[in-house]
Amino acid sequence: RLRPGLNGLLPDDIVALELTLVPDRFHARFQARSKVYEYYIHNGPMPPALGRQYGWHIGQPLRWDSMERCLKLLEGRHNFSSFQATGSSVRSSERIVLSTGIAPAGEDIQAITIEANGFLRYMVRNIVGTLVEVGRGKLTVEEFSAVVAACDRKQAGMTAPARGLCLLEVRY
């Protein structure tokens, strides 16, 4: 009975799927094992009539195979300074990316998925912005790899718009 009541209080774009009793000392942010983000790109000639507020529309065709090759380079333990917000005060920019992928999520819609043990501020959006530069042919896979190694935000691409980002799951 608690879940339907909670969902009645939450905004329409948030849904509690499951409730679990946890110890009083449990901290949702610091005890997460991993988080899964998806970023949606509408890649067709026209933006969709419905749902356009939930994705980044890019009208020109993208090189999805090259983008996926770059995404796979991020798997494992890396310093993600190139993709963190400027002025960040985190102690370490090292994170472990557990899995990545690109998959269809509707007509002319692709979902870029990244699961990691943690994320830096704007990390996913900065990765996606840089991947789109690869997709547009402005960066090669080798140049993307050099961006990662540079550990310098100025080397990476633009920050993708917030509207395409979705926190899909938090795993404990």
Domain count, the chain: 1
The verdict on residue 10 lying in a domain is no
The verdict on residue 104 lying in a domain is yes
pLDDT in tens, 117-164: 999 999 999 999 999 999 999 999 999 999 999 999 999 999 999 999
Structural domain range at position 157: 30-171
The verdict on residue 8 lying in a domain is no
pLDDT in tens, 37-81: 999 999 999 998 888 899 999 999 999 999 999 999 999 999 999
The verdict on residue 4 lying in a domain is no
Residue 84 has pLDDT above 90, yes or no: yes
The CATH number of the domain holding residue 143 is 3.30.70.660
CA angle 145, 151, 156 (to 5 degrees): 60
Q: Residue type for 27, please?
A: H
The verdict on residue 160 lying in a domain is yes
